[in-house]
Each structure stands twice: as structure tokens, then as C-alpha cells.
Amino acid sequence: MRRCLKWLVATAVVLPVSGLLIAWLGIIHVGATGGHWAVTEWFLHWTMRSSVRTAALGIEKPLGFENASSIQIAAVHFEEGCAECHGSPVGRRSAEVLAMLPAPPDLRASIGGWKDEELFVIVRDGLRYTGMPAWPGGGRDEEVWAMVAFLRELPGMNAARYQELSGDDASERSPFSSCLSCHRQSAQGSDESIPVIAGQTEPYLTQALHAYISGKRKSGFMEVAVSKFEETDIAAAARHFADLSTQLSAKVTTPVADERVIALTQTGDPLKKIAGCNACHDGRNLRYPLLGAQSRSYLRQQLLLFRENRRGDSATERLMSQAVRNLSDEDIDRLAAHYASIRPAEAPR
Ligand code: HEC
Ligand code: HEC
Ligand code: HEC
């Protein structure tokens, strides 16, 4: 028994010390030339697959995540944030990327072996020690699902279809045509999760862009889209989109309003401590966003984010979260439908 214990103690000391010694001597090859041994390669991939499979067990797939507008937004993001490493139906990859270890796979060939939930885990969390990054907007799972929906279509996608989804709006000659790939003018009138920014107030647009750049407002799509913005770009973009004032009112439909909506917008619901929306959103304070004619599903999604305190952590965010934290799901649906259907308030210019 005593001998056994001695051996155990000796092994417990000798093993880590020899490990440290080998590392210190510098004989472990860390260069990326020549690739891994076949057995190392097999082991690393086996570990990665097992880890992803286990992490995916707790993931629940949302119904209907494969909708067309999500796929289109994700395609624009893919071109900006993923194609450089993974390639695309229209672009070739650089020699540097192909020399990475492991080299990023061509996803058209490789993703067939993954389930949706597993792709979700890879895209949300990234892959440690490989160069594969995590999703920038932490906590915005619906954005990650949009990317999964796009990835599912990617293997069968030809160059023309990819270009149509991800390319700039060629009819638009503006310094901000890259923004219009997602914030499409033609999107107005349809019910997409992307906000209409044309015609929004300049101070609010400025504040929103700052919030994404500083990471206070989380959105992987937007954080990547403005990652190269300087102060002057923020000011120019805010002015440019605020000046397109006619666009926002162009998509007004038949107004949707009932007693509950009228009460909520005008006086709120004092018993539930819900403030009347018009007190702030009547267009007089330019720092508060105009809501009229905004996309319905975007309004709904943002109200849910505010109610759950997930939209960000600025002072103005708290003002709004306080005002709406007791709205019911039904109130939110009605208010979103209402504002999507009316003209934006006249903001003083
Ligand atoms: C800096 C380079 C880089 C960028 C940018 C990048 N990836 Fe990756 N990605 C990798 C590497 C490297 C791997 C391979 C890991 C491995 O083989 O273990 C990988 C693996 C993957 C996989 C698993 C593929 C498979 O079959 O094993 C998916 C899915 C994926 N990436 C999606 C994306 C998406 C979507 C984006 C953009 C949001 C993205 N990647 C951006 C480098 C990158
Ligand atoms: C890949 C698609 C994509 C691109 C490209 C993109 N956006 Fe966005 N944008 C979004 C999404 C999605 C949201 C909503 C994000 C959220 O939930 O916070 C958004 C939100 C915004 C908002 C906040 C609107 C509001 O009412 O609060 C502004 C401002 C904005 N974008 C400006 C821009 C500008 C300027 C550019 C060009 C530099 C741009 N976007 C490029 C997808 C995109
Ligand atoms: C006390 C003032 C105040 C009241 C009352 C208020 N809001 Fe807001 N709201 C704000 C501010 C400030 C913001 C911008 C917050 C930010 O930048 O994060 C905002 C943002 C929003 C947005 C996001 C718009 C966009 O473009 O992203 C929606 C939707 C919204 N409010 C709806 C409502 C509704 C519906 C009500 C009534 C139930 C309401 N608000 C009541 C101040 C208010």
C-alpha cells in the first residue's frame, strides 16, 4: 500500500515537471507549416465535434427561422464578415487564408454533416484555437439563426443568386449604398425585421450608430456593418438618412387603432405604470425616435428587447425600458401594428 502511494506521488510530480520541461526546451513545433499529423488532426476534429454536439443538446430551434428576409440580411453579413475566410459562390480566397491551420473549410462542401442546432452553436460561440470568431452581438440569438438559415441555402446557391442576395443595390448611387444592401428602400411596405432608417431624426440616428460602435447596443449585423466608421462617417450617415424624409411616410397603410391602443399611446396605463407613448414619441424631442411607418416586426422585436432590458445600457434605454416594462405580449403586437400603419409624427427641422 505504502509503495503504491509512493509511486502515485512520484508520478504526480514527475509527469507535470517533464511536461513543463519539454515545453520550455521549445521542441514542440508551433509553426503552421506542414499541417498536423493525421492522428492529431483526427483527435482535434473528434474533440471539436463532440464538444459542439454536447453544447447543441440544450438548444431549441425557433419555428420558422428560415424566412426570406433573414436569409437576405445574413447573406450581406456573410459577404462582409465570413466570405474572406470561407469563400463564396463569387469570390476566391487569399493565399494567407488558405495557409491558416486549420484552413477554414469551404462551407458549401462541409456543412451538410452538421445539424441546425450544431451550426447555431458554432456560429454563436466560434471555435477556440482555430481563428473561427464568435458572433459579435452577444445575446442576439435570432441573428445567429438567420445566419444558420442562410448557411442551409448556401450549398445549392449559384453566383447570380448569391449576388442578388448579398450585393449592393446597384440602382442606388449614394456613398452609403452598402447600408442599403440591408436597409433596402424597396423593403418599405413589406414586413421585415430590418428598420427603416430613411427619414428618422438625425440626433437619434447619431445616437444609435454610437451605441452600436461602442458595443452598448448589441447587434452582430450592425456592429460589423459600422466597424470601420469614424466620427465623420457617423455624422455624414445620420445626415444622409435623416434627409430622406419622404421615404418613411411612403409606406403608410390603413391605420390600425382600437381603444386600447389609443389609450396606451395617449395616456398610457397608470394602473400598470405604463407611460403614454406620445409623451416622448410625438416628434418634438429629436433624440427620441419616430415610430410611424416603421417596420412592424422590427417594432415588435425592439419592444420585446426593451421589456426584457436587453436593448442596451444607455441612459435613454433605461427611460424607455421603464416606460414599457409592464406591456403584455398582446399590447406589444397591437402597438407595433399601430405604429407601422401611421404616418410618422412631423419632426421640426
Ligand atoms: C478569420 C477566419 C474566419 C472567419 C472570419 C470566419 N470563420 Fe468560420 N471557421 C474558420 C476556421 C479556421 C474554421 C475551421 C475550424 C476547424 O476546422 O476546426 C471555421 C469553421 C466554421 C464552421 C464549421 C465548418 C465545418 O464543417 O467544420 C462554420 C459553420 C463556420 N465556420 C461559419 C462561419 C460563419 C457563418 C462566419 C461569419 C459570421 C465565419 N465562419 C467566419 C475561420 C473563420
Ligand atoms: C447586414 C445588414 C445590415 C447592414 C449592411 C447595415 N445594417 Fe443597419 N441595421 C441592421 C439591423 C438588422 C438593424 C436592427 C438591429 C437591432 O436589432 O438593434 C439595424 C439597425 C440600424 C440602425 C438603428 C435604427 C433604429 O431605428 O434604431 C441604424 C441607425 C442603422 N442600422 C444604420 C446603418 C448604416 C448607416 C449602415 C451602413 C453603414 C447600416 N445600418 C448597414 C442591418 C444592417
Ligand atoms: C419617457 C419617454 C418615453 C416613453 C414614455 C416611451 N418611449 Fe419609446 N423610446 C424612448 C427613447 C429615449 C428611445 C430610444 C432609446 C435608445 O436609444 O435606446 C425609445 C425607443 C423606442 C423604440 C425603438 C425605436 C427604434 O427605432 O429602434 C420603440 C419601438 C418605442 N420606443 C416604442 C414606445 C412605445 C410603444 C411607447 C408607449 C407604450 C413608448 N415607446 C414610450 C422614450 C420613450
For residue 242, the enclosing domain spans 177-249
Ligand 3, pocket-test mutation among 218, 296, 320, most atoms within 8 A of CB: 320
pTM above 0.85, yes or no: yes
Cis peptide bond upstream of 102, omega within 30? yes
Query: In CATH, what number is assigned to the domain containing residue 236?
Result: 1.10.760.10
Q: Is residue 291 part of a domain?
A: yes
Give Cα 19 distance to the centre of its chain: 42
The tens digit of pLDDT for each residue in 298-328 reads: 999 999 999 999 998 777 888 899 989 999 9
Q: Is residue 42 part of a domain?
A: no
Q: Is residue 243 part of a domain?
A: yes
The tens digit of pLDDT for each residue in 105-139 reads: 999 999 999 999 999 999 999 999 899 999 998 88
Mean pLDDT of the chain, nearest integer: 88
End position of a domain, from candidates 208, 231, 249: 249
Q: Is residue 53 part of a domain?
A: no
Q: Is residue 185 part of a domain?
A: yes
- Are 207 and 270 contained in the same domain? no
Instruction: Look at residue 345 and give its three-state secondary structure.
Output: coil
Categorize the per-residue pLDDT at 186 as very low, low, confident or very high, splitting at 50, 70 and 90.
Answer: very low
Q: Is residue 282 part of a domain?
A: yes
Pick from 132-141, 188-197, 247-256 the range whose average pLDDT is largest.
Answer: 132-141
- Are 83 and 144 contained in the same domain? yes
End position of a domain, from candidates 166, 194, 224: 166
The tens digit of pLDDT for each residue in 340-349 reads: 888 887 655 4
Q: Which three cell numbers stand for residue 240?
A: 444622409
Q: From the CB of 107, is ligand 1 less than 6 Å away?
A: yes
Q: Which residues line ligand 2 (CB under 6 A)?
A: 73, 76-77, 176, 178-179, 181-183, 194-195, 197, 200, 205, 208-209, 217, 219, 221-222, 225-226, 237, 289
Predicted confidence (pLDDT) at residue 191 exceeds the cutoff of 70: no
End position of a domain, from candidates 109, 141, 166: 166
Q: Is residue 47 part of a domain?
A: no
Categorize the per-residue pLDDT at 195 as very low, low, confident or very high, splitting at 50, 70 and 90.
Answer: very high
Distance 27 CA to ligand 1 centre (A): 30
For residue 241, which of 203, 208, 202, 209 has the smallest C-alpha distance?
202
Categorize the per-residue pLDDT at 31 as very low, low, confident or very high, splitting at 50, 70 and 90.
Answer: confident
Q: Is residue 285 part of a domain?
A: yes
Q: How many domains does the chain have?
A: 3
Q: Which three cell numbers stand for residue 124?
A: 454563436
Ligand 2, pocket-test mutation among 197, 214, 302, most atoms within 8 A of CB: 197
Categorize the per-residue pLDDT at 208 as very low, low, confident or very high, splitting at 50, 70 and 90.
Answer: very high
CA separation for the pair 72, 80 (Å, rounded):
13
